[in-house]
Structure 1
């Protein structure tokens, strides 16, 4: 990217009028549609506008604060309510004895996973903590456990992997999660709660639910619950304690169509 040109465009509000001539949907509150016909100079203009718009609205801190409010129970935005609903199923009731959880990407310490009373403790981490009860930490930089007591019975990863910048890093994150789960000995809980935007599995040219299940199976996960809402998809996986043979899942077109997104997870 031409950093100097990008920074100049970001500072210069006059480019916003010129921007209307480009092949994108560019209303202030609309979705930016980008395709492979865009020249590099046009793409730089789009990125500059997006970043400028974020700053005009108060920056990432304001966005995250709004997301935190959206997780409040009264607002109906807490994805972990679905997790708690599933964990109260008959098949899980006998498995809650001194169980711990790790919530990756926690926005509120008052969400369902933290207040349901099912867990002895919930470790809450986020890249940009908005509360003293949430540890500011990158999961990919979190020190690996040295013993079972430093591992967790359940890991929540809700709307996190879709923000990981590359498809191979997303796969690395899923593999790393297995290193933080306790061994499911004697039927003890060892599970992963995963949430992704629905278009990641319904409208990607490189990815779908079948491919996700193949990847998860290769890492030793078995799907126990699945729910498709209007905008997001929820999974609960049980881990068998074993990562399978080194299967590879490369980036490969699975579905054609110009309106599809490029989300992908690879191993």
Structure 2
């Protein structure tokens, strides 16, 4: 959330088209929904280019000198936009009730539909929930009687949020420890598609048998990507060992949500299936984004 991303903030990596260079500065009017979305999209463009340039520099290629100069310009623009703190501020605003609240409302509603709040109370043992990429420590305060949440984030903005890189968590120390893991606007953060796949594999390891994985992504990740479709995403999840329980999105909406149940990892797939989720496959042509998850 390569490890170069450890010091980056959670920023969406999908935008149907590249935003204008005339992005409004986050001060002043950044709490307007459109200005906020525009700035976040610009951060996406910059963070992706930053990762590409860092790879060129680290590889010692012949154009490393020009890449170094461009990297300085990219990082300066990120600072001009307000830096990572500006993104955190805008993301927190986006979770406010005046913007429809955070995605945790969807997860809570699904858990209640499954009567987990009742069964947990009878068992007198709260659900252990790992909230990855938490911007606020109290997202699940309304259900604290039956949910024991551990919020983590790369750059925690509250003392009750543990500063932790999910990808660096010890899989053995957390093996089958969690009842629920929430990856809300997390999979679209790492620039490296294989890191996204590793997140899903790690979640499978850390969830108890029949544990639940909640995923929230910008809708363009699956409906406007040249490499991803809802069917391809579900097939990828099945190949890891997840069974879809719920999904929700609407045409023209901004977000998509899924709830998956952990199952035993499936038997080894065929060579064709193996390549299907390790390599990019073009499903759509035209003006699309490049979001993809690779195993």
Shift of 1:71: 2.0
- Cα RMSD for the two superposed structures: 3.0
What is the 5 A alignment of 1:61-210?
A: 61-90=85-114, 92-96=116-120, 97=123, 98=125, 99-111=127-139, 113-117=140-144, 119-146=146-173, 151-184=177-210, 190-210=211-231
1:233 aligns with 2:256: yes
What secondary structure does 1:182 align onto? strand
Over residues 202-257 of structure 1, what are the superposed CA-to-partner deviations in whole Å (9 max), with x where a residue is unaligned? 011111111110111122211111111511100011112x1113442132333232
Q: Distance in 1 between matches of 2:23 and 2:194?
A: 32
Q: 2:22 aligns with which of 27, 51, 63?
A: 27
Shift of 1:95: 4.2
What is the 5 A alignment of 1:2-81?
A: 25-29=20-24, 51-81=75-105
Asked whether the equivalents of residues 250 and 266 of structure 1 are also in contact (C-alpha less than 8 Å), the reply is yes
Asked whether the equivalents of residues 117 and 146 of structure 2 are also in contact (C-alpha less than 8 Å), the reply is no
**Greater relative CO, 1 or 2 (CA 8 Å, sep 6+):** 2
Larger CA Rg, structure 1 vs 2: 1
Asked whether the equivalents of residues 153 and 181 of structure 1 are also in contact (C-alpha less than 8 Å), the reply is yes
Label 1:147 to 1:82 Cα distance change in 2 as closer, same or farther (>3 A). Answer: closer
Residues paired across the two proteins, number: 232
What secondary structure does 1:157 align onto? strand
Shift of 1:89: 0.5
Q: Distance in 2 between matches of 1:164 and 1:245?
A: 28
TM-score normalised by structure 2 residue count: 0.69
Shift of 1:115: 3.3
For structure 2, which runs of at least 5 residues remain unmatched after alignment? 1-17, 25-37, 47-62
